[in-house]
């Protein structure tokens, strides 16, 4: 598939939205937006749980934009900004539970060869999702990578054939097989490949630990290390990997932590 840029007016309008700071959303799977000093000076270094954190301008201030892991207990958390420790409160958030029956048993209980493959792929995926590229950033706002009905399934606690699995770390967007997927802001392709669980996958690095992931594609239209611009076609919706039908699994990550894409997207 040829790379095409969709130069529709909507992208020009939405380009303004992508430079906005997100809403302070301080719950597990959410994003804390913490004041980090006056922007007269250079951007401070911020870390959370030992990992570097995205810092961006907001008006005349710097703000740290912190991904909060899904497993975080409600209560006080500490963010390091320069030489200071800054406390913030994490609120409780209830996520639903879902039980699924999956017909292909080999996708529920992989054999040793599959486990080896899954382990190798996990390393590549985790390295891409946790990568911190030190560049200036103007924000973390996104345009929708594909039009379609968005599920509110981020954070769902899932059971496949009664076996517990890790919570759902993305948003599923319903769309027909072959629907083009566009880059939701500028970035660089950090990884791409055909993975056991995720099928055909693209991971885009937007800088400062802000990373987005696209799974189950029918087709991949980009190469590793390729720069992509807002609106570039990166692939097409499909049903590859462990899925029951075509949809886009859309993941968004800050400081190596999956956060709810709904916080970063405009209202549908
Ligand atoms: Zn999904």
CATH number at residue 28: 2.60.40.1590
- Give the domain CATH number at 112: 2.70.70.10
* Total number of domains in the chain: 2
Distance 177 CA to ligand 1 centre (A): 15
Angle at 149 between CA 209 and CA 151, to 5 degrees: 60
Percentage of the chain exceeding pLDDT 70: 91
Q: Determine the average pLDDT of the residues in 126-149.
A: 93
Residue 14 is assigned to a structural domain of this protein:
no
Distance 8 CA to ligand 1 centre (A): 28
Contact 103, 243 (CB under 8 A): no
Distance 243 CA to ligand 1 centre (A): 8
Is the pLDDT at 10 greater than 90, yes or no?
no
pLDDT at 2: 41
Residue 136 is assigned to a structural domain of this protein:
yes
Q: Between these two residues, 154 and 138, which has the higher pLDDT value? A: 154
- CB crowding 67-76: b at 16 or more within 10 Å, else e: bbbbebeeee
Q: Which of 190, 223, 186 is nearest to 3 (CA)?
A: 223
Question: Which of residues 42, 60, 90 is at a domain's end?
Answer: 90
Question: Which of residues 39, 74, 90 is at a domain's end?
Answer: 90
Distance 261 CA to ligand 1 centre (A): 12
Q: Residue 1 — very low, low, confident or very high, per pLDDT cuts 50/70/90?
A: very low
In angstroms, the Cα distances linking 30 to 72, 89, 164, 262 are: 10, 12, 23, 10
Which of 7-11, 108-112, 127-131 has maximum average pLDDT? 127-131
Residue 86 is assigned to a structural domain of this protein:
yes
The pTM is what? 0.90
Please tell me whether residues 252 and 162 are part of one structural domain: yes
Residue 71 is assigned to a structural domain of this protein:
yes
Distance 195 CA to ligand 1 centre (A): 14
Is the pLDDT at 33 greater than 80, yes or no?
yes
Please tell me whether residues 113 and 239 are part of one structural domain: yes
Distance 240 CA to ligand 1 centre (A): 12
Please tell me whether residues 152 and 254 are part of one structural domain: yes
Q: Residue 16 — very low, low, confident or very high, per pLDDT cuts 50/70/90?
A: low
Question: Which of residues 35, 68, 90 is at a domain's end?
Answer: 90
Is the pLDDT at 116 greater than 50, yes or no?
yes
Please tell me whether residues 101 and 57 are part of one structural domain: no
Please tell me whether residues 73 and 189 are part of one structural domain: no
Which domain range does residue 65 map to?
Answer: 20-90
């Amino acid at each position: 598939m040829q790379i095409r840029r969709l130069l529709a007016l909507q992208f020009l309008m939405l380009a303004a939205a992508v430079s906005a700071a997100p809403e302070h959303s301080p719950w597990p799977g959410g994003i804390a937006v913490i004041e980090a000093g006056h922007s007269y000076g250079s951007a401070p270094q911020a870390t959370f749980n030992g990992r570097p954190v995205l810092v961006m301008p907001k008006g005349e201030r710097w703000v740290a934009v912190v991904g909060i892991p899904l497993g975080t207990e409600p209560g006080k958390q500490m963010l390091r900004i320069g030489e200071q420790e800054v406390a913030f409160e994490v609120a409780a958030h209830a996520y639903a539970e879902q039980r699924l029956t999956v017909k292909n048993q080999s996708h529920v209980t992989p054999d040793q060869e599959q486990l080896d493959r899954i382990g190798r792929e996990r390393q590549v995926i985790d390295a891409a999702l946790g990568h911190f590229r030190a560049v200036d950033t103007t924000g973390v706002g996104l345009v929708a990578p594909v039009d379609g009905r968005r599920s509110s399934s981020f954070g769902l606690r899932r059971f496949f054939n009664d076996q517990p699995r890790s919570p759902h770390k993305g948003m599923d967007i319903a769309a027909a097989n072959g629907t083009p997927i566009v880059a939701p802001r500028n970035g660089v392709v950090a990884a791409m490949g055909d993975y056991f669980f995720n099928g055909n996958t693209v991971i885009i690095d937007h800088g400062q630990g802000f990373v987005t992931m696209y799974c189950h594609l029918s087709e991949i239209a980009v190469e590793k290390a390729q720069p992509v611009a807002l609106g570039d076609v990166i692939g097409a919706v499909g049903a590859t990997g462990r899925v029951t039908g075509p949809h886009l699994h859309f993941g968004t990550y800050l400081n190596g932590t999956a956060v709810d894409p709904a916080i970063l997207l405009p209202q549908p």
